[in-house]
Amino acid sequence: MDNFCHRGLPQDRGQVSNRLSRPAKELDDSNITARAKLASELPVIAGNKGQLREVILNLVQNSIDAMAVTTNRPRVISLVTARSGSDSIAVLLEDTGPGINPQKLASIFEPFVTTKAKGRGLGLALCRMIVEQHGGKLSAASGADGGARFEITLQTRMAVPAVPVASGDKAVGSG
């Protein structure tokens, strides 16, 4: 299992570039600019690196898909990390797409709810489940002028990791 203890999510600017460059061809083909602004000196978080990476990748892919219809303004995905109070970090992902239909906003994280013609409606439900298993929260909002905003908040002080630790791996605070 891919467990980790590190500062913030993703750990450093190179990791953010990796997260956003993994779908780089799609970003280029879709004429989308990716921007990242990372806070320095973020506190340590604990969790499953692979699962949290998939949450970010799913949100990025959803933004890419949503911006396919954006023709009246630049297409931009922004990823920002910041402290959220004294014991949490926040990861914000925003795009300049059409935003989230207000009638779907309340149910967007429910299984089998989708806005895509060929979507299965599982991506955001799984994202929220993963974040909650890590003791965090995932929320969504739509801007008045369009665009979607997803915010992940993760605790920095978990007494016991919510995700099982593989044999031989150490959780935060373990010797």
Residues facing residue 76 across a β-bridge: 33
Q: What is the mean pLDDT of each run of 10 residues along the chain (175 residues)?
A: 42 47 74 89 81 91 91 93 89 94 86 68 88 94 89 76 50 39
Per-residue confidence (pLDDT) for residue 119, from 0 to 100? 66
Per-residue confidence (pLDDT) for residue 141, from 0 to 100? 95
Distance CA 98, CA 104 (A): 13
Which of 95, 46, 101, 26 lies closest to 67 in space, CA to CA? Answer: 95
CA distances 42 to 7, 15, 77, 87, 165, Å, are: 5, 14, 22, 10, 22
Structural domains in the chain? 3-155 (3.30.565.10)
